[in-house]
Amino acid sequence: MIGKLSGIIDSFGDDYLILDVNGVGYVVTCSSRTLQRLPARGEPASLAIETQVREDAIRLFGFASDAERDWFRLLQSVQGVGAKVALAILSIFAAGELATAIGTQDKASVARAPGVGPKLAARIVAELKGKAPALAAVDPTVARLAGEEEAKNAPRPVQDAISALVNLGYGRPQAAAAVAASLNALGAAAEAPALIRRGLKELAQ
């Protein structure tokens, strides 16, 4: 199996490139985000590779980083997510952004990817919340407060502040992030009005 390729970019297609490695041209399918980050034709490039073997074909998928490849694998562990949908998600999210969206249960953001409806986005978020390889990049306070059930166990001022921001029209993930940042700034003893005022300032930035 091929895990990495380094060579010269020969040409680009809509969703792939041909990478010339010592005279052999490999067709490598990539997300649009990865393609945009690559150098121009004729320049050297190196890609992390995921090899998928089927009865009728061998396909190579290329990624700018190992983290992106890990996400590609992990996304396909969810029923209804194949290579095409996984690449569509990775086309709109960097690895850290996707970790944040899943860690904060931001189904609406995930559903923005082509081919991902609300039901599939909800399944992705639910199934991957505890498995995401980059969840360390997410503030644990934000991840904890983002879910309605988890937030019920938070102190009353925190619950009230999140509810107030949601009632003002902000999404729960955004409200949870703002309140988490407010808690970090004001301390655990902060009351709801102070958390709301600080949260609104955070959201206005």
pLDDT at residue 155, rounded to an integer: 82
| pLDDT exceeds 60 at position 170 | yes
Q: Which is it for strands 24-30 and 58-63: parallel, antiparallel or unpaired?
A: parallel
Least confident of 48-57, 85-94, 141-150, 169-178: 141-150
CA atoms within 13 A on the CB side of 22: 2
Least confident of 11-15, 37-41, 101-105: 101-105
* DSSP line for 94-140: -HHHHHHHHHTT-HHHHTTSTT--HHHHHHHHHHHTTT-TTGGGS-H
pLDDT in tens, 53-79: 988 889 999 998 888 898 899 999 999
Q: Which has more pLDDT, 167 or 140?
A: 167
Whole-model pTM above 0.85? no
| pLDDT exceeds 70 at position 147 | no
Strand partners for 45: 7
pLDDT at residue 103, rounded to an integer: 75
- Residue 203, C-beta contacts closer than 8 angstroms, at least 6 positions apart: 165, 170, 174, 175, 178
Structural domains of the chain in order of their starting residue, each with its CATH number = 4-63 (2.40.50.140), 66-137 (1.10.150.20), 140-200 (no CATH)
